[in-house]
């Protein structure tokens, strides 16, 4: 009916970040992480919690990165075309942000 407002609110947490990180771990997907100081690190997500993610790197020390220090991360495509942003599910698209506010 026109003028009627919905009583339900949008959910505060969609858990898309959790699903996306879990998929990265299970599929052992290589990612590149851009930090807030514009440094980039590459490796595989091995573990995550509400505040940080652990990146496992080949031939270099593993890193624990606080989420509040991460600008964004994206999957690294093995093809010569370079990196390809990828979201959850089967289609491509922007990855959900990994931010300090997400729990």
Ordered structural domains, the chain, with CATH: 16-75 (2.30.30.100)
Contact 24, 44 (CB under 8 A): yes
Q: What is the mean pLDDT of each run of 10 residues along the chain (103 residues)?
A: 72 88 96 97 96 96 96 79 42 47 45
- In the block, residue with structure tokens 């690294």: 76
What's this model's pTM, rounded to 2 decimal places?
A: 0.64
């Amino acid at each position: 009916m026109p003028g009627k407002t919905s009583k339900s609110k949008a959910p505060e947490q969609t858990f898309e970040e959790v699903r996306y990180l879990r998929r990265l771990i299970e599929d052992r997907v290589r990612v590149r992480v851009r930090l807030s100081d514009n440094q980039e690190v590459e490796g595989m997500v091995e573990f995550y919690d509400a505040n940080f993610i652990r990146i496992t790197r080949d031939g270099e020390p593993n890193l624990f990165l606080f989420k509040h220090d991460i600008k964004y991360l994206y999957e690294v495509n093995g093809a010569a075309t370079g990196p390809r942003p990828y979201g959850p599910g089967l289609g491509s698209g922007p990855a959900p942000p990994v931010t300090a506010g997400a729990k």
